[in-house]
Structure formats: structure tokens, C-alpha cells
């Protein structure tokens, strides 16, 4: 594994892919909370996400070539850093498990009803580990190539549904209270913040993070959120909030219902392909990040061993979750109570440490 410098465009696409992670599992929960204003809630989450991302980049500027967890070690000491690395790894495992489980259920629902889940998850995790082994550089290039393709395929599969939009389902937009919309926005921010979780590690591969990559990171997050907002509008427009909030995999449902004449049908395959690409790259990114964090606990020794351990742990955990309802529940809990608070705490401790020990750090850094 390596820490080569990656370009702005690669960072943009990595963020756009990785931020999609478990958000697909929390779709229905956001519909329940924000109702017709789900798209608004999605967009509102940017108010939390972009400042957090910029905060992480700003901190990384103090010690270029180092992860935020390494900067935490410089400012708050080894103990805090090792605890943070351990928690980071656990959260990454959870994210990987939930996204891999999502794709497993999606495949069972759409095309592989008889294939055991351990087969699909094993294949996915093997490929993700293979990609992660190539480091952030290979991941960046893959995201660069696949993101646009994935988006085109996804919208090819679902765009036809826009013909069936009933505007009565969309307007009036605000049918829930502000608290509900805020809660939905917070949940969405929590789900999308998986991208920022990766950013805490990825900053080590950015040259002058805050000066050069602010725009790329912000635009990547913006693109994901706009995509989710558009998809929310489409799903609610077609089915209405009440029905949409009961779908477990709404994007598949939308594409299944697209049918034009005797020729255009079965477009769920496109959504399936798009989801596989997104999830594979997302899991690969978190595999990379988790193995870097684990290696950090053991002073960066045996990185390949930690990569293999990550693979084995997630492969075990994926088969441990019995139902899709639990995937949705855990994803909601993760988004609401774990990922975002963890990121905020890490950034806060690092910043506080910098305030107190900043001068010393400046002297140490090259």
C-alpha cells in the first residue's frame, strides 16, 4: 500500500463515490422524517458536511503527508491516537458490512435469489481488498473512470420513471415540521459523512490539502447530495411519501416499474450495475482506510496483514446480519449516533491539541 499524491479530480470522484455508502440504506428513514421535503433535508445536510470536510482539510494542512489520526497523535498523544484508530477501524468495519450487506440483499431481490449471501459478499470483498491493495492511487483512478459511467447507468435505469411523476405527491413541499426536517438532514449528514471519515485518512495523500483540495472535496459532497435529493424527488413523485417510506430498496423498485412498450423493461439491471460499482469502490476505500488505521495502532507494521484481517472481519460480520430490516436499523443508528459524532470529536480534539501545541508541531513538521 502506498500514499502517493492524488489529483484534485480523483479526490472529487472518490468523495462522490464514498459518500454514497450507507446513505442508500437510510432513504426510507429520511422519507419518514422529512416527508415531501426529503430533497430539502438532503440539501440542508450540506450545511454540516462541507464545513466538516473543510475543517479536516485545514487540520491536515498543519502536517502535510500525515493522516488526521497521525496529527492527533502529534497533538494529543499516543494513547488518544490509538483509541481513535481502534474506533475508526470499528466504524469502517460497520460501514463496510452494512454496504456489502445492502448489495447482497439487492442482488437476492433482483437477480440472484438462490445464490447464498456469503458467495456474493465474498466476491465483493475479495475485489475490494484487491483494489485496496493498490492503494489510494488505484482507487482514485478507478473512481475517476467509473463514477460518470455509474451515474449514467443509474439514471438510465431510473430516468424513465420520471414520466410517471405525479406532482400532487411533491407539492406542497413542506408537510412536516422543522424539527423533523432537521432530524432528516442530520441523519443524511451522518450517512454521507462516511466520505469525511475516509478523508481523515486520505488527507495524507493530498499535497497542500486546504489550499488545493477544498473545492474538489466540497464539489464531491455536493454532487452526492444533489444526486440523493434528485432521487428522493423522483421516488416520492412516483409513489408518494407513504408508499416510498416503506420501500427497503427504493431505487430498484423505481427501475422495476419502468416499462415502455414491449421493449423497455427490466431496467433494475442498470441500477444493480451502478450499485455494485459504487459499493465495491466504497468498500475498497474503507478497506484501505481501516487497514491504514489498524496498521497505525501497531506502528505501521505488517500493512498487508491488516488488510487481510479487515477482509476476514468484514466477511464474518456480513454474514452475521440476518435481515435487511436490521441493515436499515444499524445504518440509521450509525448515521445518527456514531459516524458524525466520532468525526466531530476527532477534529475537535485535534484542533484543541493544535491550539495548545501548535507551535511545537510547526517546529517538528518539515
Partner 1 sequence: LLPSQKQIRPISFSLEDNLTFVKQLLGPSSDLITGQIEITEGQFRIGLVYVSGLADKDVTQHILDGLKNRSCELEKVSLRKNVLKFICNLILTTVEHKESNRMEQVITALLAGDTALFVEGADIALLIGTAKFEKRGIEKPDSETTIWGSKEGFIEDLATNITLLRRWLPTPDLRFESFVLGTISRTEVRLAWIEGIANPKLIEEARKRIQRIDIDFVSGSGLIAELIEDKSTSIWPQVHLTEQPAQVAANLADGRFAVLCNMVPFVVIAPVLFWQNLQTADDYSGKALQGTFYRLLRHAAFYLSLMATPLYVALVSYNQSIIPPILAMRIASGREGVPFPSVVETVFLSFIVDLLREAGVRLPRATGGAVTFLGAVVIGQAAVTAGFVSPAVIIVVSISAIANFAIPAQELAGATRIGNYFLIVLAATLGVYGVTIGMIWLLCGVVSLRSFGIPIFYPVAPGELYGLKDIFIRAPAWRLHKRPSLLAPSNLTRMGKSTVEPKPKNSPDRGSH
Residues that bind partner 1 (CB under 8 A): 7, 9-10, 107, 111-112, 115, 119-120, 123-124, 127, 130-131, 134, 138, 140-142, 144-146, 262-263, 265-269, 272-273, 276-277, 280
Q: Which residue has the cell 420513471?
A: 161
Strand partners, 260: 264
Nearer to partner 1, 277 or 340 (CB): 277
Nearer to partner 1, 146 or 161 (CB): 146
Minimum CB separation of residue 126 from partner 1 in Å reads 9
Nearer to partner 1, 167 or 263 (CB): 263
For 264, phi and psi rounded to 5 degrees? Answer: -85, 115
Per the document, the length of the chain is 366
Q: Are 301 and 99 in contact (CB under 8 A)?
A: no
Q: Are 120 and 283 in contact (CB under 8 A)?
A: no
Minimum CB separation of residue 229 from partner 1 in Å reads 26
Minimum CB separation of residue 279 from partner 1 in Å reads 10
Q: Are 366 and 208 in contact (CB under 8 A)?
A: no
**Nearest to 136, CA basis, from 67, 80, 51:** 67
**Nearest to 17, CA basis, from 145, 186, 190:** 145
Minimum CB separation of residue 102 from partner 1 in Å reads 13
Q: Which residue has the cell 473545492?
A: 215
**Nearest to 76, CA basis, from 355, 341, 344, 349:** 349
Minimum CB separation of residue 165 from partner 1 in Å reads 23
Minimum CB separation of residue 281 from partner 1 in Å reads 8
Nearer to partner 1, 9 or 344 (CB): 9
Q: Are 11 and 206 in contact (CB under 8 A)?
A: yes
Nearer to partner 1, 49 or 142 (CB): 142
Nearer to partner 1, 151 or 265 (CB): 265
Minimum CB separation of residue 138 from partner 1 in Å reads 5
Nearer to partner 1, 144 or 251 (CB): 144
**Nearest to 335, CA basis, from 193, 183, 179, 199:** 193
As to burial, measured by CB atoms within 10 angstroms (0-12 exposed, 13-18 middle, 19+ buried), residue 182 is middle
Amino acid at each position: 500500500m502506498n500514499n502517493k499524491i492524488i489529483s484534485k479530480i480523483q479526490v472529487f470522484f472518490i468523495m462522490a463515490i464514498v459518500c454514497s455508502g450507507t446513505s442508500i440504506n437510510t432513504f426510507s428513514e429520511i422519507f419518514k422524517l422529512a416527508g415531501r421535503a426529503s430533497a430539502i433535508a438532503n440539501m440542508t445536510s450540506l450545511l454540516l458536511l462541507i464545513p466538516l470536510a473543510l475543517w479536516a482539510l485545514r487540520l491536515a494542512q498543519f502536517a502535510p503527508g500525515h493522516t488526521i489520526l497521525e496529527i492527533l497523535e502529534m497533538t494529543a498523544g499516543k494513547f488518544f491516537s490509538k483509541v481513535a484508530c481502534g474506533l475508526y477501524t470499528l466504524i469502517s468495519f460497520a460501514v463496510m458490512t452494512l454496504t456489502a450487506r445492502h448489495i447482497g440483499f439487492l442482488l437476492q431481490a433482483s437477480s440472484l435469489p438462490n445464490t447464498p449471501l456469503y458467495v456474493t459478499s465474498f466476491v465483493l470483498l475479495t475485489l475490494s481488498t484487491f483494489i485496496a491493495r493498490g492503494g489510494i492511487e488505484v482507487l482514485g483512478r478507478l473512481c475517476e473512470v467509473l463514477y460518470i459511467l455509474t451515474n449514467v447507468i443509474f439514471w438510465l435505469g431510473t430516468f424513465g420513471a420520471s414520466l410517471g411523476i405525479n406532482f400532487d405527491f411533491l407539492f406542497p413541499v413542506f408537510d412536516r415540521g422543522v424539527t423533523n426536517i432537521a432530524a432528516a438532514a442530520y441523519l443524511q449528514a451522518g450517512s454521507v459523512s462516511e466520505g469525511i471519515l475516509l478523508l481523515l485518512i486520505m488527507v495524507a495523500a493530498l499535497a497542500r490539502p486546504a489550499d488545493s483540495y477544498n473545492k474538489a472535496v466540497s464539489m464531491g459532497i455536493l454532487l452526492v447530495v444533489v444526486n440523493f435529493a434528485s432521487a428522493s424527488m423522483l421516488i416520492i413523485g412516483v409513489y408518494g411519501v407513504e408508499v416510498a417510506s416503506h420501500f427497503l430498496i427504493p431505487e430498484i423498485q423505481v427501475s422495476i416499474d419502468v416499462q415502455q412498450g414491449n421493449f423497455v423493461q427490466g431496467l433494475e439491471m442498470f441500477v444493480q450495475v451502478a450499485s455494485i460499482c459504487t459499493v465495491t469502490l466504497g468498500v475498497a476505500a474503507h478497506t484501505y482506510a481501516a487497514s491504514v488505521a489498524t496498521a497505525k495502532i501497531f506502528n505501521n507494521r505488517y500493512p498487508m496483514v491488516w488488510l487481510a484481517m479487515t477482509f476476514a472481519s468484514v466477511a464474518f460480520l456480513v454474514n452475521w446480519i440476518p435481515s435487511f430490516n436490521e441493515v436499515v436499523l444499524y445504518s440509521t443508528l450509525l448515521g445518527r449516533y456514531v459516524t458524525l459524532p466520532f468525526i466531530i470529536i476527532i477534529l475537535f480534539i485535534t484542533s484543541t491539541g493544535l491550539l495548545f501545541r501548535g507551535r511545537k508541531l510547526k517546529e517538528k513538521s518539515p
